[in-house]
Amino acid sequence: MGRLWAAGAAIVMCLSLGGWPAVAEEPSANPAANGGPPAAGAVPLANPTAAATPSAPPQVGLAWERVADRDLVSRPRNGQMYGVIAGGPGAIAWGGVSGTGPRIWTTVDGRDWSPATVETATDAVPENLPEVLDVTAGGPGFVAVGSYLREGDALTSIVWTSRDGLTWERVPDSPGFEWSAMDQVVAWRDGLLAFGCKIIPSEPLTCGPDRVWTSDDGVSWVRATPALPEGSVRVGIVEPSSDGLWGVGYGSGGGFVDPDAPRPPRLTSLDGLAWTVSPLPVLGVERLHPLPDGLYLTVAAIPPKGPGFIQPPTWVSRTPGVYASADLLTWTPLAVGRPLGDDIIAVGDTLVMVGTHGRRCWSPNGDCLAAAWRSTDAGRTWTSVPVTGTRPKKVAVASMRAAAALPDGTLVAVGSEIDRGTGWPSTAAWISMPGGG
């Protein structure tokens, strides 16, 4: 699960995309910390009568199917799709395929995917070519970031820009890219921020102190060292919202990867450089989703204890579900007590969630299939919807990691499928047509 990067520097984004199952702490007796009545201003339940009229927008997220497109599937090579956004000809997805270099795909309709033209690094070690780790709208149109292992050197950051999502040009090397690994980029206040870490020369695949880069145009980047609260060495899983930038602070113990590491704090910043501890809780290894009507947290289930299962940090408890906040201080447990998905998108009054679900999701042998849910009452109740097209006898784990909506209401999701025989992941995408067709 998660991004299988060659470098340990990539831990933060691996966690955010499912490398560790997410869990929440038990709700406390303090209503200001754990909820109370549903947040004011929540999205009302959709009116079924209005939905049936010709003028109403089509219902979305009613059913999903696996996309059958040979230009998309990487099997038998190790390949993964890490994310997707609406833009370009329709949607833009990104990731990597072992031995082939950086990969970006585009689609107009969600069914037919085409590989974009992406300039690669000529000085990369052939066994560790660049991967595209994140993409955002900004600069001349779009900006992508990643890292690769340079011949005779260590990990170095790499940036691409594109006007249309179809052709991507590599930004010229900068001294600020050396001995560093970028793993996330966000658009913020008429500019761009990239996040990553310094690479320790004595340990060329080890992620060290935090690094932040700023840019006005996506081409020229300035490297900075952020100011973090005491005890935090890195900030990761950064999400921009109208109220600020939100992230998770990692300590020197390795954050979520070290079971004995201290509980990481949620951090906030207005410029990406100066970070302070925020009132947002860290309920566990979760994902934060700033949506139009407030902030949502998705908290998935952890594996059972015992041999053959990935073990979470000792401070993580076992209350999965969805939490929401309208004021950033009071958090309402919505659908809590059963595992759901990881990523949520809002399409009108409907929330759509994608992920993976099964009894042995975190076992080496797997037994999980892609799963999706929808909610029309601001996340209080969720209905599971059918996901078809994956062959369980061949696929051990099929995971939707991220979703996006096309202008006509078509939804696309991307992720990976792990082959039951080889254990290697392959790129995968799913589509949900408006009205369930």
- The residue ranges of every structural domain in the chain are 24-436
> Bigger pLDDT: 367 or 82?
82
> Bigger pLDDT: 411 or 175?
411
Long-range contacts of 194-200 (CB under 8 A, 24+ apart): 194/145, 194/157, 194/159, 194/221, 195/235, 195/236, 195/238, 195/247, 195/272, 196/9, 196/145, 196/147, 196/157, 197/9, 197/234, 199/9, 199/154, 199/155
Q: 192 is written with which tokens?
A: 């761009």
Contact 401, 394 (CB under 8 A): no
Contact 355, 341 (CB under 8 A): yes
List CB contacts of 239: < 8 A, sequence separation 6 or more: 186, 245, 246, 247, 288, 289, 290
Q: 375 is written with which tokens?
A: 């909610």
Tell me if the bond preceding 290 is cis, omega within 30° of 0: no
What single DSSP character describes residue 167? E
- Residue 225 DSSP SS3: coil
Q: What whole-number percentage of the chain has pLDDT above 90?
A: 38
> Bigger pLDDT: 322 or 43?
322
Chain center to CA of 107: 19
Phi first, then psi: give them for residue 126, nearest 5 degrees.
Answer: -55, -30
Residues 297, 84, 214: CA angle, nearest 5 degrees = 80
Round to whole Å and give the CA distance between 179 and 149.
Answer: 10
Q: 165 is written with which tokens?
A: 């999502």
Contact 333, 353 (CB under 8 A): no
Q: Is 373 a residue whose pLDDT tops 80?
A: yes
Interstrand relation of 167-170 and 395-405 (parallel, antiparallel or unpaired): unpaired
DSSP β-bridge partners for residue 428? 415
Q: Is 9 a residue whose pLDDT tops 80?
A: no
Residues 166, 170, 172: CA angle, nearest 5 degrees = 155
Q: What is the pLDDT of residues 296-340, one digit of tens each?
A: 888 765 555 665 555 666 556 557 788 888 776 778 889 887 778
Q: What is the pLDDT of residues 87-146, one digit of tens each?
A: 999 999 999 888 788 899 999 999 999 999 999 888 888 777 788 999 999 999 999 999
Confidence of residue 357 (pLDDT cuts 50, 70, 90): confident
Specify which of 116-125, 170-179, 379-388 reaches the highest per-range mean pLDDT.
Answer: 379-388
Contact 212, 272 (CB under 8 A): yes
* DSSP H or E segment with residue 180: strand 180-188
DSSP β-bridge partners for residue 346? 351
CATH H-level superfamily of 24-436: YVTN repeat-like/Quinoprotein amine dehydrogenase (2.130.10.10)
> Bigger pLDDT: 288 or 46?
288
Section 254-270 average pLDDT: 67
- Residue 207 DSSP SS3: strand
Contact 85, 91 (CB under 8 A): yes
Q: Which amino acid is at 139?
A: G
| N- to C-terminal Cα separation, the chain | 30
> Mean pLDDT lowest for which of 7-16, 135-144, 246-255, 298-307?
7-16
Residue 314 is predicted with a pLDDT of 59
Round to whole Å and give the CA distance between 170 and 168.
Answer: 7
List CB contacts of 54: < 8 A, sequence separation 6 or more: none
Q: Is 269 a residue whose pLDDT tops 90?
A: yes
Contact 348, 60 (CB under 8 A): yes
List CB contacts of 235: < 8 A, sequence separation 6 or more: 195, 210, 226, 228, 247, 248, 249, 250, 267, 269, 275
Residue 155 is predicted with a pLDDT of 82
Specify which of 36-40, 67-71, 373-377, 396-400 reaches the highest per-range mean pLDDT.
Answer: 373-377
Residue 6 is predicted with a pLDDT of 27
Residue 368 is predicted with a pLDDT of 82
The Cβ-side half-sphere exposure at 30, using a 13 Å CA radius, reads 6
Residue 256 is predicted with a pLDDT of 42
Confidence of residue 33 (pLDDT cuts 50, 70, 90): very low
Section 155-166 average pLDDT: 95
Where does residue 46 rank: exposed (0-12), middle (13-18), buried (19+ CB within 10 A)? middle
Residue 143 is predicted with a pLDDT of 98
Q: What whole-number percentage of the chain has pLDDT above 70?
A: 76
Section 388-396 average pLDDT: 84
Contact 6, 128 (CB under 8 A): yes
Residue 428 is predicted with a pLDDT of 93
